[in-house]
Amino acid sequence: MGYPLSVQLGATLQTKMLNIAIAGAGALGKRWSEVVARSGTDEAQLRAVVDPLIGTDLEPAWLQEQTSLSRATSIEQLGDVDIDAVLVTAFSPAHATAVHEALLNGYHVLVEKPFTTDVTDAESLVDLAREKDRILMVNQNYRFFPGPQLVQKLAASGEFGSIRAVAGQFWCDWPGKPYQHAMLHPMSLEMAIHHFDLVRFMLGAESVSGFVHEWNPRRSPYRMGGALEALFILNSNATRFPFSYTGSLVTTAPAVPWAGFWRFEFDEASLFADGFEPEYGLYLSSPNGRVKISEFGDPTMGFDKSFRHFLDCIQNAAEPISSGRDNLNTLRMALSFLG
């Protein structure tokens, strides 16, 4: 289900202050605690943190300052705490179990990307959310960056004709975390999934075929799949077009901004997200040169806007733009075309 930009980012009147629990107290959990705090206590407040390390010598240090929060080592232990929604910020292989437990206990869920590390698990969670009548949203926060928002608007307007080809690139020498080192498909699930999701969002398109080739640079700390090359054929309402993508977590090339480098070829114009001049942004190219028309990335990484959207969808019983159901197609791009 899609929503116009005004619905995606527009504020709504809040009818109930929502009580939030965070499942996963690592660095990402700490960051999300700050996002919840910025939302305003009349809209949402953090009430509890869940992490299996709570009460051990490895309990995250930031929790020492959170004396008012309830603590639990599993989501089932939240039963005596008034909770409306759970933010799943645990490491990626634990997403499926945490989301399942949260939905079974009647909570709305916002889960970090990747939704899960297995498509079948994700499909069952979408069914469970429907059965429990709960909001299930995946935090594809790059959708809230200004550049992708503008590309979506321009593509939908038809101002430049139909999209004919898209190319995306991402390189970063990322040391990774221990769980990422052991994962299958780390580049695809931990990074490229952002960009696969963006191309769907920006151009209102779905993949109809594809091929993803993974490889592992010699000095890679990852078990496998530290880099990849991909080619998809996507179909929008207007046309069918190729999307080529290259990305690596292990490279000596200069790092690319998180939102990536892009080239969009429309009938009547070319758009680039690149570091020209050398300012990163979205550029419109013409025979007379190129002009920057927007920032492309977002220094806030879009977390606050994503959380606002999640709260609005709960209050209005609306499907998020990156609902679990919608995100199945992003996850399939990451996992179903591996060759």
CATH of the domain at 68: 3.40.50.720
pLDDT tens sequence across 218-234: 999 999 999 999 999 99
Range of the domain at 224: 146-297
d(CA 54, CA 25): 9
Tell whether 170 and 266 lie within a shared domain: yes
With respect to residue 328, please indicate whether it lies within any of the assigned structural domains: no
User: pTM of the entire structure?
Assistant: 0.93
On whether the CB atoms of residues 22 and 11 are closer than 8 A, the answer is: no
Number of residues written out for the chain: 339
* Distances 140 to 95, 110, 126, 322 between C-alpha atoms, Å: 15, 10, 16, 7
Residue tagged 């700390």 (tokens)? 221
Residue tagged 């550049």 (tokens)? 147
Q: Reply yes or no on whether the pLDDT at 14 is more than 50.
A: no
Q: What does the pLDDT read at residue 277? A: 74
Q: Reply yes or no on whether the pLDDT at 13 is more than 70.
A: no
**What's the CATH code of the domain at 175?**
3.30.360.10
Tell whether 123 and 151 lie within a shared domain: no
With respect to residue 151, please indicate whether it lies within any of the assigned structural domains: yes
d(CA 160, CA 297): 22
With respect to residue 333, please indicate whether it lies within any of the assigned structural domains: no
Tell whether 9 and 91 lie within a shared domain: yes
Give the residue from 226, 225, 114 showing the smallest Cα distance to 172. Answer: 226
Q: Are strands 227-235 and 240-248 parallel, antiparallel or unpaired?
A: antiparallel
Tell whether 153 and 287 lie within a shared domain: yes
With respect to residue 215, please indicate whether it lies within any of the assigned structural domains: yes
At residue 10, φ and ψ (nearest 5 deg) are -75, 145
Q: What is the mean pLDDT of the chain?
A: 93
Q: Reply yes or no on whether the pLDDT at 98 is more than 80.
A: yes
On whether the CB atoms of residues 281 and 296 are closer than 8 A, the answer is: yes
pLDDT tens sequence across 266-325: 999 999 999 877 799 999 998 888 999 999 999 999 999 999 999 999 999 999 999 999
Q: Reply yes or no on whether the pLDDT at 36 is more than 90.
A: yes
Read off the amino acid at residue 96: A
Which two three-digit tokens encode residue 151? 């590309």
Kindly state the average pLDDT of the residues 240-267: 97
Tell whether 116 and 191 lie within a shared domain: no
With respect to residue 336, please indicate whether it lies within any of the assigned structural domains: no
On whether the CB atoms of residues 136 and 213 are closer than 8 A, the answer is: no
Contacts of 330 (CB under 8 A, 6+ apart): 115, 138, 140, 193, 196, 197, 200
d(CA 156, CA 91): 35
pLDDT tens sequence across 105-125: 999 999 999 999 999 999 999
With respect to residue 281, please indicate whether it lies within any of the assigned structural domains: yes
Residue tagged 């996507």 (tokens)? 234
Above pLDDT 90, what percent of the chain? 88
- Which pLDDT band, with edges at 50, 70 and 90, does 3 fall under? very low
Tell whether 236 and 180 lie within a shared domain: yes
* Number of domains within the chain: 2
Q: What does the pLDDT read at residue 286? A: 82
Tell whether 36 and 136 lie within a shared domain: yes
Tell whether 41 and 128 lie within a shared domain: yes
As beta bridge partners, residue 110 has 87, 137
d(CA 157, CA 327): 24
Tell whether 291 and 156 lie within a shared domain: yes
Tell whether 283 and 306 lie within a shared domain: no
In the chain, at which residue ranges do the beta strands (DSSP E only) sit? 18-23, 44-50, 70-72, 85-88, 108-112, 136-139, 163-171, 206-215, 227-235, 240-248, 261-266, 270-274, 281-286, 289-294
Tell whether 88 and 163 lie within a shared domain: no
Tell whether 108 and 162 lie within a shared domain: no
With respect to residue 42, please indicate whether it lies within any of the assigned structural domains: yes
Q: What does the pLDDT read at residue 24? A: 97
